[in-house]
Amino acid sequence: MKLFTKFLLIYLAVSVVVLGIGGIISYHIIKDEIDRELKFEFLDRIDRVTYLLEQGKTFAKFRELDQDENLVIVPLDTFKENDTQVSDTLIWDDRFERDEKNVKVSAFRNINDTTYFISTYGNMIESNDVREAVISILLWILGLQVLGAAGIGFVVSGPLFKPFRNTLHRIQNFQINEKEYLKAEPTNVKEFRDLNIFVEEMTKKAVSDFNNLKEFAENASHELQTPVAIAKGKLELLTETNLNEQQYSYVEKLETTLNKLSRLNDSLALLTKIENHEFSTNETVNISKIVKDGINAFQELLSLNNLHLVTDISDSIMLKIHPSLAEIMWSNLFRNAINHNIQNGEINIKLNSDYLEISNTGKELNTEPSVLFERFKKGEQNSESIGLGLSIVKRIVDQNAMPISYTTVKNRHTIRISLKSVKID
């Protein structure tokens, strides 16, 4: 529900309640006012009758004065003190065929030793009419309020909330790796200004945190490589001394381990970089060339491992992707296919404008193949690989919105990457 719709509904609900209560109050105030006016007029009339009687004028028992049909003037036999009573009484109304509330004024007046009973009643406006008038007034007000609310809503959702919508739009388009915090448009509305200041501060902090993290990842990688370099150098110097076979094999094992550590460090740094979207510049890359160059670079390894290569590669497939990422992706995939192959195995590579597919013979998997995209997940836990190659591939294809699938049928592993989202026709 839009803010404006919600505002309008609340406004109307409140209006209906307020107008309802206001209507009841208005009805009573108007009715009381009318009744009081009527009472004063009746009292005036009684005073006039009294005056006329004092002047010696005589009346018939029922007689009209000032077109008052209900005036009663009766001389009494008994004596009563001067008295005036105002009361409500129900009188049958012929027109509406029901009892209608009327104001009645009765008085006893002693004039020339005779006590007169003077009384009259009536109503100026029926309460029905008052009610109808009040309701119709209220409906008019309600109608005008709906129009007013719609007008306010239009202004609110239009120019008034423009700074808010601008800020929202900027937040939606905010990219943390652009290294720029979010600068909002100036506005004279305090709340929006507060929001803008908050968003500015928050994005400044996010950008600086991001940079710190990036710096940390890079520094950590740097700081780790130096000790590894020292250790490797010392080992090299150690091999220059006279070592026996066992000592030498220890040194060799240490060297292999250090290499693995350094590779691990490189791969983690690379993963962090990819995750931090540091490779977001999209350039046009000839993937056909990258695939072919990769194959050439590994040619010797293929023949040494007696692997049979079958390729079906279309020329000049152009992709919109960072060139380093394309190369890393392909070399990881291809290396994977060689390393996890079997003696006299086979590698099939297929590249066309729709997908890139590499399938190889290998050992049967005990696990779900897609698990191997996770970090440090390996087909065989004791293998020399560090288990980050496929997670790097996964990160790269995810970032470029390329769907990837890994399927195995017996000992044949197939990875297929759809190129639809990045291909350039």
Partner 1 sequence: MKILVIEDNQDLLENILTYLKQGGYRCETASDYDAAFNKIMSFTYDIALIDLMIPGGSGLQILRELKSARPQTGTIIISAKNSLDDKVTGLEIGADDYLTKPFQLAELHARIKAVYRRNNLNGDDVVRINEIAIHTKKMETKVNETVVDLTPKEYDLLLYFSSNKNHVLSKQTIAEHLWGDYVGHLDNLDFVYQHIKNLRKKLIQAGANDYIESIYSIGYKFNVNRRSS
State which of positions 364-383 bind partner 1 (CB under 8 A). Answer: 383
- Under the criterion CB under 8 A, does residue 304 sit at the interface with partner 1? yes
- Under the criterion CB under 8 A, does residue 223 sit at the interface with partner 1? yes
When the beta carbons of 153 and 389 are compared against partner 1, the nearer one is 389
69 and 94 in contact (C-beta within 8 Å)? no
- Under the criterion CB under 8 A, does residue 177 sit at the interface with partner 1? no
* Number of helices and strands in the chain (H, E): 8, 12
The continuous run of DSSP H or E covering 409 comes out as strand 404-409
Rounded to whole angstroms, the Cα distance separating 400 from 322 reads 9
- Under the criterion CB under 8 A, does residue 338 sit at the interface with partner 1? yes
- With vertex at residue 75, the alpha carbon angle to CA 70 and CA 81, rounded to the nearest 5 degrees, is 100
- The site string for partner 1 over 264-293 (x = CB under 8 A, - otherwise) reads --x--x------------------------
3-state DSSP call for residue 332? helix
Stretch that binds partner 1, among 168-176, 190-198, 241-249, 362-370 (CB under 8 A): 241-249
CB of 233 to partner 1, least distance (A): 3
Neighbour tally for 243: CB within 10 Å = 14
CB of 230 to partner 1, least distance (A): 4
Structure tokens at 80: 């009563």
Rounded to whole angstroms, the Cα distance separating 84 from 59 reads 20
Nearest to 16 by CA among 127, 135, 121: 135
Neighbour tally for 253: CB within 10 Å = 10
Determine which residue in the list 100, 218, 293, 346 makes contact with partner 1, applying CB under 8 A. Answer: 218
Structure tokens at 7: 């505002």
- Under the criterion CB under 8 A, does residue 239 sit at the interface with partner 1? yes
Nearest to 227 by CA among 270, 186, 265: 265
Stretch that binds partner 1, among 68-76, 123-131, 144-152, 296-304 (CB under 8 A): 296-304
Determine which residue in the list 237, 315, 366, 425 makes contact with partner 1, applying CB under 8 A. Answer: 237
When the beta carbons of 141 and 228 are compared against partner 1, the nearer one is 228
Q: Which chain residues interact with partner 1 by CB under 8 A? A: 218, 221-223, 225-226, 228-234, 236-237, 239-240, 245, 248-249, 252, 255-256, 258-259, 262-263, 266, 269, 297-298, 300-301, 304-305, 324, 331, 335, 338-339, 383-386, 389
